[in-house]
Amino acid sequence: MKWNKIFKMINNIITGLLFIVLVFSVIVVISVRASGGEPTVFGHQLKTVLSGSMEPEIQTGSIILIQVGGDMTRFDEGDVITFRTKDNILITHRIVEVKGNGQQYITEGDNNDGPDIEPVLSENIVGQYTGFNLPYVGYVTNFANTKQGVALLFIVPGVFLLIYSVVSIWRALKQLENQQEETQALVARSQADKKV
């Protein structure tokens, strides 16, 4: 009897975890797809860090939260900003010098040997790094942007949940069948005892 309770508890935990993974996968895929690869959380954007220029504070493969909008001339030396280059590449670096009352910024990656070649114009700034980052989660969001990622993040947890559900149903039916056989055996014994 004790083992049945433990088995039920483990069964419920595994089912719950598989369901949570499936729901999380659906949310990640939908948010990435709906936002064009830039999910928004409470008015902040999630960005994936693809280089080590800001290590050790921001690891490669992390996702970071940036605050978008507002006055892009408000930043001070030491702030970390995300901006677009002339080649439309997003970069997140620290401001090392402010020029022209915030019209231009000299930036540098914490892990780089020197400042970036081109100054950042205030109109090219996307937002300010909030200090929140999740290491390695960026790899998942980047993968979720691919066709293989969508398929894998939807299908694999769903298949695991389906297989686990089928196995659980089969076990429950087997257990019910065993209980019926035991009940029939008890009834048969009871009737045999009455005849004697």
pLDDT digits (tens, 9 = 90+) for 118-171: 999 999 999 999 988 888 877 777 776 677 877 776 777 778 778 877 887 888
pLDDT of residue 139: 78
Scan for tokens 């408000």, then name that residue.
74
pLDDT less than 70: residues of the chain? 1, 22, 25-43, 144-145, 153, 195-196
Instruction: Work out the mean pLDDT of the chain and round it to a whole number.
Output: 82
Peptide bond into 135 cis (omega under 30): no
Cβ neighbours of 150 (radius 10 Å) = 18
Which sequence positions are flagged as catalytic? Answer: 51
Taking domain 38-144, whether its CATH number is 2.60.40.60 is answered by no
CA distance 180 to 52: 63
Any idea how long the chain is?
Answer: 196
